A = this chain, B = another copy of it.
Amino acid sequence: MTIVVQKYGGSSLADADGIKRVAQRISETKRAGHDVCVVVSAMGDTTDELLDLAKEVSPLPPPRELDMLMTAGERISMALVAMAINDLGFSARSFTGSQAGVITDAEHGKAKIIDVTPGRITQALADGHVVIVAGFQGVSQDTKEITTLGRGGSDTTAVALAAALRAEVCEIYSDVDGVFTADPRICRRATKLDRISGEEMLELAAAGSKILHLRCVEYARRFGIPIHVRSTFTDKPGTIVADLTEGEAVEAPIIAGVAHDNGEAKVTIVGVPDRTGMAAAIFEAVARAGLNIDMIVQNVSAVETGLTDISFTLPKGDGRAALQALETIKETVGFHSVIFDDQIGKLSLVGAGMRTNTGVSATFFKALADAGINVEMISTSEIRISVITREERLADAVKAVHTAFGLDSESGEAVVYGGTGR
């Protein structure tokens, strides 16, 4: 008997009808002869409603209590899904993250899974039950406190359980048909991928693709768990995310897809003396403030002045903290000024074939130039090229690059069903 782990997001569980539809799907998998372990998010807007309640009561709620509050959301949806499965003639048991053995560190609101001890789950599956587990939550190892995992937490819960249960596959259900060569909301001719390597998926997720969260993909790669990204609303197969065999890799397309991100801002430090240690002083100050920066560019310094400019990007929400951190070192470093620009967009082209195929960069930059799009920053990895453009040109840039690499679908427009859950 093989074990299948399935994860359903909030948009698939928006109301009683959604819950019944999900229960139907789960029952079909059980009927097909699999042991099924299901991870659920909170229903539709529950998470936002609970956050609103917290805000009404307290301007700055303690993280421990916020986690206690938020975890009520998955508790509600998992019990309801279990009830609906029961009505279809299968026995179902729901378990909280803590009961399921999801052990985390003690960082409330953004805890990391450090172990999974699924004894109760294994027993329940052996007893013939369908198991429903609350996503997004766990219990801290030393303090036994209820924790939440932060963004993408339910996906990560599903992959972690799949690894601990040695599941055949981890199916992640949402409101899109799979992983596309670009976001179908922007690029209507995006093509669904049948398969993508974990390495490429990691780059796409890091570059702003919302379909799977970075931590979930990392976890799946580390434990060799294939992920099947598919839609709750159709029976069509979705996209398999799994590292390719050597033979498959040869056959794989050069480019996996185009990702975009309009959640970043650019900080430029003007007039930095071109002396050893200046960049280090700047990025140490930013790191001390707990901020993650993404791209960094340093210009060649002007010969007459001995001054240079340094630019970096980071999430828009961290902008204020970055400016405060830089202010503290303005005198010691001796730079002129700081420019903050949150009207930027990031476009990334990802493909494992870049390693062995020349001419990818040439095609990429020609496509942007032909579309009249100015490139402000560039960064690359082995299998990715990213550029910063004006935010208002980002959608045009995605479409131009998508077309230039022959990714446009022959078979018409991609279907988008609705919003995405957490």
Contact between A57 and B94, CB atoms less than 8 A apart: no
- CB within 8 A of A16: which of B50, B56, B71? B56
Cross-chain contact B93 with A80 (CB below 8 angstroms): no
Contact B65 A83 (CB under 8 A): yes
Question: Which residue in B53, B59, B86, B99 is a CB contact (below 8 Å) of A58?
Answer: B86
Chain A, residues 69-96, CB within 8 Å of chain B (1/0): the string is 1011001101110111011000011100
For the complex, give the distance between the alpha carbons of A58 and B87 in Å. Answer: 7
Residue of chain B at shortest CB distance from A17: B56
Cβ contact within 8 Å between A54 and B75: no
Taking the closest CB of chain B, its distance from the CB of A154, in whole angstroms, is 17
0/1 interface trace, chain A 35-75, chain B, CB 8 Å (1 if under) = 00000000000000010011011111110111011011001
Contact indicator B84/A57 (Cβ below 8 Å): yes
What is the distance, in angstroms, from A122's C-beta to the closest C-beta of chain B?
15
B65 touches A75 (CB 8 A): no
Contacts of A80 in B (CB 8 A): 53-54, 57, 65, 69
Q: Residue A202 at the B interface, CB < 8 A? A: no
Q: How far is the CA of A87 from the CA of B71 in the complex (A)?
A: 21
A19 interface residue, CB < 8 Å from B? yes
Beyond A65-B83, A71-B75, whether A57 also contacts B16 by CB under 8 A is yes
CB–CB A75/B78 < 8 A: no
**Which residue of B19, B68, B82, B99 contacts A65 across the interface (Cβ within 8 Å)?**
B82
CB distance from A228 to the nearest CB of B (A): 26
Asked if B65 and A69 make an inter-chain contact with CB atoms under 8 angstroms apart, the answer reads no
A213 at the interface (CB under 8 A from B): no
A144 — which chain B residues lie within 8 A by C-beta? Answer: 99, 120
**How distant is the Cα of A92 from the Cα of B61 in the complex, in angstroms?**
11
Look across to chain B and name the residue whose beta carbon is closest to the beta carbon of A86.
B62
Q: Which residue of B lies closest to A73 (CB)?
A: B72
Least CB separation from A61: chain B residue: B83
Interface pair B75/A69, CB less than 8 Å apart: yes
Contacts of A87 in B (CB 8 A): 57-60
Contact of A19 with B79 in the complex, beta carbons under 8 Å: no
Residues of B within 8 A of A69 (CB): 75-76, 79-80, 83
A112 at the interface (CB under 8 A from B): no
A83: chain B residues within 8 A (beta carbon): 54, 57-58, 61-62, 65-66, 69
Q: Is the CB of A79 within 8 A of B65?
A: yes
A20 CB within 8 Å of chain B = yes
Give Cα distance in the complex from A71 to B71, angstroms: 12
- Chain B CB count within 10 A is highest, among A75, A83, A92, for A83
A61 adjacent to B76 (CB under 8 Å): no
Find chain B residues with CB under 8 A from A72 CB. Answer: 72, 75-76, 79
- A87-135 at interface with B (beta carbon < 8 Å): 87, 92-94, 99, 120
Chain B residue with Cβ nearest A20: B57
Query: For the complex, what is the distance from the CA of A202 to the CA of B54, rounded to whole Å?
Result: 39
Least CB distance, A96 to chain B, in whole angstroms: 8
Q: Kindly name the residue among A16, A72, A86 whose own CB sees the greatest number of chain B CB atoms within 10 A.
A: A72
Chain B residues with CB below 8 A from A78, complex form? 68
Docked-complex contact A50 and B76, CB < 8 angstroms: yes
Q: Which residues of B contact A57 (CB under 8 A)?
A: 16, 19-20, 80, 83-84, 87
> Within 8 Å CB of A99, what residues of B?
144
Instruction: Write the chain B residue with the least CB distance to A56.
Output: B16
Chain B residues with Cβ below 8 Å from A62 are 82-83, 86
Do B86 and A65 touch across chains, with their CB atoms under 8 A apart?
yes
By Cβ-Cβ distance, the 5 closest A-B pairs, closest first, are A69-B79, A16-B56, A58-B83, A68-B79, A61-B83
